[in-house]
Amino acid sequence: MAKRILFLLNRAPYGSSYALEALESVLVAALFDQQVSVLFKGAGLHQLLKGQDGAAVGQRTVGKMLGALPEYGVAGLFVCAPSAARLGLTEGDFCLPVTLLDHDGQRRIINEQDIVTG
């Protein structure tokens, strides 16, 4: 039976390997037919920005990896709406369609999961 897994991604896309390793974990979980969702919070929203170029800092481009999420059947891509507002970002700034969630929406999504990690 598939488990519902939510990954909380709250780190910047570059400067460490955290973002790429977290995305690889998301893809692996989805590959094994789990119901995977991702909630981007805080600095993690920068992972979603259009026009990234990881080569400029000697890393793979996170945005390109994100493009694979729908192909792997990732069930939901969520963004913390207060984080987006604080950073001055809108849905048009992101490289993938996302659902903005206020704090109540985030609690609801988290409570629906079998596993929350991040």
pLDDT in tens, 18-58: 999 999 999 999 999 899 999 999 999 999 999 887 777 87
Mean pLDDT of 94-112: 97
For the 4-52+63-111 domain, the top CATH level (class) is: alpha beta
Confidence grade of residue 116 (pLDDT, cut at 50, 70, 90) = very high
Question: Can you give the residue ranges of every domain in the chain?
Answer: 4-52+63-111
**Backbone phi, then psi, for 14, in 5-degree steps?**
-130, 165
Burial class for 54, CB neighbours closer than 10 Å (0-12, 13-18, 19+) = middle
Q: What is the mean pLDDT of the chain?
A: 93
Question: What pLDDT sits at residue 100?
Answer: 98
> Which residue, among 83, 68, 61, 86, has the nearest Cα to 28 in the 3D structure?
68
Six-digit token pair at 96? 């993938």
Question: What pLDDT sits at residue 9?
Answer: 97
**Backbone phi, then psi, for 74, in 5-degree steps?**
-65, 125
